[in-house]
Chain A
């Protein structure tokens, strides 16, 4: 456990003073939607979030976007501002892979706290499933590894995670069934969400016997690819009141990042990954003055089953090597010890980075999660990882502000 991390006291004061909140969310239809462009999804998700907050488009004065895997643009945020027809006072794009969505919220908070904007639209959308060409897919695989010293050996993206998974199974004596249990839980949760891509029941045997992609990982250990958009609006409690926003608010209680490596070649051992996850989480926890026992809901980046176990353990919810047993015992399910990804995650709902993780955490804290609602949820953690478990970001969201 990390001792006092520099900067957390100051961060706490800033968040306490400004009472940063997520005040609106939007998600478009997710799935295979072949007739819509990346920028179409971005526009639709933005509109839905603005409408959810009950504000006007002109009330938004800040914009944080990410990137597109289909339409590559040099300046993504301003390309979208032009398409959508807005003139933000603050604009930036975050491009740290799966760590992006979580950090978009942090970026918005920092902009608000430093007076750059008051109402920041954070939006991501892409037609990844329908729009990506085979050369585009190859370029994506190429970007996930070192183009000179890794890619020539035929490494794929699932292969990169399989390298981590294989070592994890070796170091901790974890089992194939334990990995599979993560996918099974995500599928159970997706079945409760209307806007989810894969809802058919899934068993551990079906996961293990599905098409082998890169041993030890099979098809259902890998996240889905989808088309769609999602957005959330970050502002302050005071501004939300001024604008007459009636939604329940999700307060930002803490945030942090942790970096391990970019390329698997430079990874020394699994502890390097755990330390990066822990650092990211501890920065958020210490800022919030909270610990793992205070967390009611966890939104963990589940691009592959292995990442959920590494994050559960790295964040400190269970000791190293014990995430698998936790998953296999069903303890990540709604109604159990620690509900994880109540919307079905990247493994079953849709893949838009951690956008839906942030949206779902907000809906839960608002009490708007319908059949998935975890009744007494007061604190949620959202953790994203980019690269091959290499770059990490964490936020803590709460039903009540820091006191």
Chain B
């Protein structure tokens, strides 16, 4: 019998307008929204540019996947029982090369080796058959 994948942690609360982002993740590509009118990236993805342009004309651009750690918190307690066995884990805000920040986990590293300014790159965690979370690991 094939091993069944179970994922008990919270899945993203999807909004319709973020579909290109999550489809990108599923295909292991990090695509970021950018206002066509101003050429500015923004994150998190929204249906309308949060800039003064208020533009709904949004393009999705593949990011380099390179980022630096802006800040991080080593979690010794998760939000629920579903995280049992995970701590300590690192939740971080990383600054993408494209200039926007995103929240993520820093993985494949001892949490205490993470530091502000650390260079990291995207890796893809297929948490279910349908959903992939982009996470980051240190650049070797």
Contact = CB atoms under 8 A, between A and B. Distances in A.
B12 interface: yes
Interface stretch (A121-129, A138-146, A245-253, A310-318): A138-146
B91 A163 contact: yes
Interface string B93-113: 100000001111100000100
A213 B104 contact: no
Given A148-B12, A170-B71, A265 B103 contact: yes
Contacts of A75: none
Given A149-B103, A154-B83, A159 B91 contact: yes
B54 interface: no
A52 interface: no
A155 B90 CA distance: 9
Contacts of A158: 77
Contacts of A147: 10, 12-13
B51 interface: no
Contact of A213 (B15, B77, B105, B133): B77
B73 A148 contact: no
Interface in B1-38: 9-15, 18
B71 to A, nearest CB: 4
Nearest to B74: A215
B75 A214 contact: yes
- Which of A134, A142, A166, A217 is the most central at the interface, judged by chain B CB atoms within 10 Å of its CB? A166
A389 to B, nearest CB: 13
Contacts of B81: 134
Contacts of B47: none
Given A152-B11, A154-B83, A156-B78, A166 B103 contact: no
Interface residues of A, number: 39
A335 B12 CA distance: 50
Given A163-B72, A167-B70, A266 B44 contact: yes
Contacts of B11: 152
B131 to A, nearest CB: 8
A154 B79 CA distance: 6
B76 A153 contact: no
Interface in A191-206: none
B79 A156 contact: yes
A151 interface: yes
Interface string A265-301: 1111000000000000000000000000000000000
8 contacts: A151-B79, A153-B104, A154-B79, A163-B72, A215-B111, A263-B44, A264-B103, A268-B101
Interface of B: 9-15, 18, 43-45, 70-81, 83, 86, 88-89, 91-93, 101-105, 111, 116, 133, 135
Interface of A: 134, 138, 141-142, 145-156, 158-160, 162-167, 170, 211-217, 263-268
